[in-house]
Structure 1
Amino acid sequence: MSFTYIRDLQPFQFNKKLKVRICRIWRPKLIGSTDQFGGLQCILVDQKTDAIQASVKEIDYDFVAPKIKPGSIYEITHFYTGRNKPSHKIVPHVAQLFFNERTTFKELPTIQPHIPRHRFYLVDYTQLSTRIDKIDILTYVFGHITAIQPLEQKMVGNERLEDKCEVCIENIRKEDVRITLWGNTAKTFDAQALQQSTSPIFAAFTSLKVKQFQGKIVLNSSVSTLIFINPDIPELAAYKTIFNDSTHAVKMLPSSTTQLMTPQYLEAAKKLSVQELNVLDPETHKDTPILCRAAITRFDIRNGWWYKACPSCFKQL
Structure 2
Amino acid sequence: MPRSLTPPFFAALEDSRRILIAGMGGGFDVFCGLPLYFALRAEGRDVTLANLSFSTFSPLTPRPLAPALIEVTPRTPVRPGEYFPEAYLSRWLAMQGEPSSVYATEKTGVQPALAAYRALTDHLHIDTVILIDGGTDALMRGDEPDLGTPHEDAVSLCAVNELTGLRRFMVSLGFGIDSFHGVSHWNVLEATAELARAGAYLGSFSLTPELPPVQQYRDACEAVFGQMPRHTSIVNSSILSAIHGQYGDHHASERTHGSPLWINPLMAQYWCYELTAVARRLQYREALMDTVTMTDVDRVIGAHRASVAVRPRHTLPI
With normalisation by structure 1, the TM-score equals 0.24
Larger proportion of strand: 1
Larger proportion of helix: 2
With a CA cutoff of 8 Å and minimum separation of 6, indicate the structure with the bigger relative contact order. 2
